[in-house]
C-alpha cells in the first residue's frame, strides 16, 4: 500500500530517497603513490565504475579540475607527498568542493582519520582493507553525491522557472523588479547613467480578435526574440505584462537609449511575423517610451513611471514611435 501511494502521487520522482539512487557507472578518482595498491583499488572498483588512477598530487588536482568525478579515493599512507594537504586543496577549489572524498588510513591511525574528517573528508576506511566494505562505502558516497546533485539541479531549475515567463522565456516582472533595483543602486552609487524602455504592441487586441489568441502568442514570442537579439549582453529584457515589455539598459544615457529604441522599433516592424503553421504573416508595430535615472529618483519605480508616461504619449502621437 505504501509503495502504491508513493508512486501514485509521484512522490518518488519529486523527492527520492538517497538509497534509490544508483551508484553504478560512477566516475571515481583513485590517488595512491604505490602502483600496486593503486592497481588493486582501481581493479576492484572498475567492475562497476569508471576509474582513473594517479600517483601524484599534481596529476590528481589537474584531473579532478577537468573531469568532474563523483568520488575521490585518497590513500593516507602516501609517502611522496602530503595526502592531507591534497584533501584540503580539493576542498578549496570549486570543481571538487562538493565531490565526496573517501580516505584510507593505517590501522588504528585515529589521529590521521580525525584530521582528514576535520578537513571535510566524507568517510574513511581502515587498513587492512576489506573489499566489501570498500565497495559499500564507495556506493554510499556516490549515491549521496548523485542525490545532492539532483537536489541542486532541481533547485536551480525552480529558481530559473520562478524568474522567467513561460510563453516567451523572457525574465518576468518579479525578476525585473529585483534586477532594476540592483541596477538602480549601482548606477546611483557609481554616478553612471541608467535607462529603461517600456514597449507596448500597437493594436494587439485587434490582432488577437482577427487571427486568434494563438497567433497573438506567436507574435509575443517573435517580439521577445527580436528584442533580445538587438540589445547588448548587459541589457535585460523582461515581459512586464501581457503585451508590454521593459528593457533595462545600464550605462546608457538618453542618446544610446534612443538608438536602442529605434533599432528595436524598426526590427519589430521591419519584417512580418509568421503567425501559424500555414505560414500566414502579419506585420506589427510597437510604441516605446523611455526614461533615464535622475538624481532625485527615490526608487526604480520613478523611472518606470516616467517611461510609462512617455509610452502613453507615444500612443497618443500615433503609435509606432519612440518618445523619451
Ligand atoms: P494599443 O495600441 O493602445 O496598445 O492597443 P492594444 O489593443 O494593444 O491595447 P489593449 O491594452 O487594449 O490590449 C492588449 C491586449 O493584449 C489585450 C489582451 O487580450 C492581449 N494579451 C495580453 N496578454 C496576452 C497573451 O499572453 N497572449 C495573447 N495572445 N494576447 C494577450
Ligand atoms: Mg498594453
Ligand atoms: Mg494598451
Ligand atoms: Mg498594446
For residue 18, is pLDDT > 70? Answer: no
Compute the mean pLDDT over every residue in the chain, rounded to the nearest whole number. Answer: 93
Cβ–ligand 1 contact at 284 (below 6 Å): no
Q: pLDDT tens digits for 39-90?
A: 999 999 999 999 999 999 999 999 999 999 999 999 999 999 999 999 999 9
pLDDT at residue 15, as a whole number: 46
Q: 199 C-alpha vs ligand 4 centroid, how far in Å?
A: 9
Q: pLDDT tens digits for 249-301?
A: 999 999 999 999 999 999 999 999 999 999 999 999 999 999 999 999 999 99
CB 249, CB 194: distance < 8 Å: yes
Alpha carbon distance 44, 50 (integer Å): 11
Alpha carbon distance 162, 172 (integer Å): 8
Q: Cα 28–52–137 angle (5° rounding)?
A: 25
Residues in CB range of 80: below 8 A, 6 or more apart: 33, 55, 56
Cβ–ligand 1 contact at 218 (below 6 Å): no
Residue among 165, 168, 173, 204 whose CB has most ligand 1 atoms within 8 A, to mutate:
204
SS (H, E, C) the chain: CHHHHHHHCCHHHHCCCHHHCCCCCCEEEEECCCHHHHHHHHHHHHCCCEEEEECCHHHHHHHHHHHCCCEEEEECCCCCCCHHHHHHHHHHCHHHCCCCEEEEECCCCHHHHHHHHHCCCCEEEECCCCHHHHHHHHHHHHHHHHHHHHHHHHHHHHHHHHHECCCCCCECHHHHHHHHHHHHHHHHHHCCCEEEEEEEECCHHHHHHHHCHHHHHHHHHHHHHHHHHCCCCCCEEEECCCCEEEEEEECCCHHHHHHHHHHHHHHHHHCCEECCCCCCEECCCEEEEEEECCCCCCCHHHHHHHHHHHHHHHHHCCCCCEEC
Closest residue CA from atom 2 of ligand 1: 202
pLDDT band for position 20 (cuts 50, 70, 90): low
For residue 182, is pLDDT > 70? Answer: yes
pLDDT at residue 24, as a whole number: 87
Cβ–ligand 1 contact at 203 (below 6 Å): yes
Please report the sign of the dihedral spanned by the C-alpha atoms of residue 292, residue 297, residue 299, residue 302.
negative
Q: 204 C-alpha vs ligand 1 centroid, how far in Å?
A: 5
Q: 199 C-alpha vs ligand 2 centroid, how far in Å?
A: 9
Cβ–ligand 1 contact at 123 (below 6 Å): no
Between 277 and 4, residue with greater pLDDT: 277
201 Cα nearest atom in ligand 1: 8
Cβ–ligand 1 contact at 241 (below 6 Å): no
Percent of the chain predicted with pLDDT > 90: 92
Closest residue CA from atom 6 of ligand 1: 203
Alpha carbon distance 77, 300 (integer Å): 60
Alpha carbon distance 265, 322 (integer Å): 8
* Residues with a beta carbon under 5 angstroms from ion ligand 2: 200, 244
Alpha carbon distance 107, 126 (integer Å): 6
Closest residue CA from atom 4 of ligand 1: 202
Cβ–ligand 1 contact at 242 (below 6 Å): yes
Amino acid at each position: 500500500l505504501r509503495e502504491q501511494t508513493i508512486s501514485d502521487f509521484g512522490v518518488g520522482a519529486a523527492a527520492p530517497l538517497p538509497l534509490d539512487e544508483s551508484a553504478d557507472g560512477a566516475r571515481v578518482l583513485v590517488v595512491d603513490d604505490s602502483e600496486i595498491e593503486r592497481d588493486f583499488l582501481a581493479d576492484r572498483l572498475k567492475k562497476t565504475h569508471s576509474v582513473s588512477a594517479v600517483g601524484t598530487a599534481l596529476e590528481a588536482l589537474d584531473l579532478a579540475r577537468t573531469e568532474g568525478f563523483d568520488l575521490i579515493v585518497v590513500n593516507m599512507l602516501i609517502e611522496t607527498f602530503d595526502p592531507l594537504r591534497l584533501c584540503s586543496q580539493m576542498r578549496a577549489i570549486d570543481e571538487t568542493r562538493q565531490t565526496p572524498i573517501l580516505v584510507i588510513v593505517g590501522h588504528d591511525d585515529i589521529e590521521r582519520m580525525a584530521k582528514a574528517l576535520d578537513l571535510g573528508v566524507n568517510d574513511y576506511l581502515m587498513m587492512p582493507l576489506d573489499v566489501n566494505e570498500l565497495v559499500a562505502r564507495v556506493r554510499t558516497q556516490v549515491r549521496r553525491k548523485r542525490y545532492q546533485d539532483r537536489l541542486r539541479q532541481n533547485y536551480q531549475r525552480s529558481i530559473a522557472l520562478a524568474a522567467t515567463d513561460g510563453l516567451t522565456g523572457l525574465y518576468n516582472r518579479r525578476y525585473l523588479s529585483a534586477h532594476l533595483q540592483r541596477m538602480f543602486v549601482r548606477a546611483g552609487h557609481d554616478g553612471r547613467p541608467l535607462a529603461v524602455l517600456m514597449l507596448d504592441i500597437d493594436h494587439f487586441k485587434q490582432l488577437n480578435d482577427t487571427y486568434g489568441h494563438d497567433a497573438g502568442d506567436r507574435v509575443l514570442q517573435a517580439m521577445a526574440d527580436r528584442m533580445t537579439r538587438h540589445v547588448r549582453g548587459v541589457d535585460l529584457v523582461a515581459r512586464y505584462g501581457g503585451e508590454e515589455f521593459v528593457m533595462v539598459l545600464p550605462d546608457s544615457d538618453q542618446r544610446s537609449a534612443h538608438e536602442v529604441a529605434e533599432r528595436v522599433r524598426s526590427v519589430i516592424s521591419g519584417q512580418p511575423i509568421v503567425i501559424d503553421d500555414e505560414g500566414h504573416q502579419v506585420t506589427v508595430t510597437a510604441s516605446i517610451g523611455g526614461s533615464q535615472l535622475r538624481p532625485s529618483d527615490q526608487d526604480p519605480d520613478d523611472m518606470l513611471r516616467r517611461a510609462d508616461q512617455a509610452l502613453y504619449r507615444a500612443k497618443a502621437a500615433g503609435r509606432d514611435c519612440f518618445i523619451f
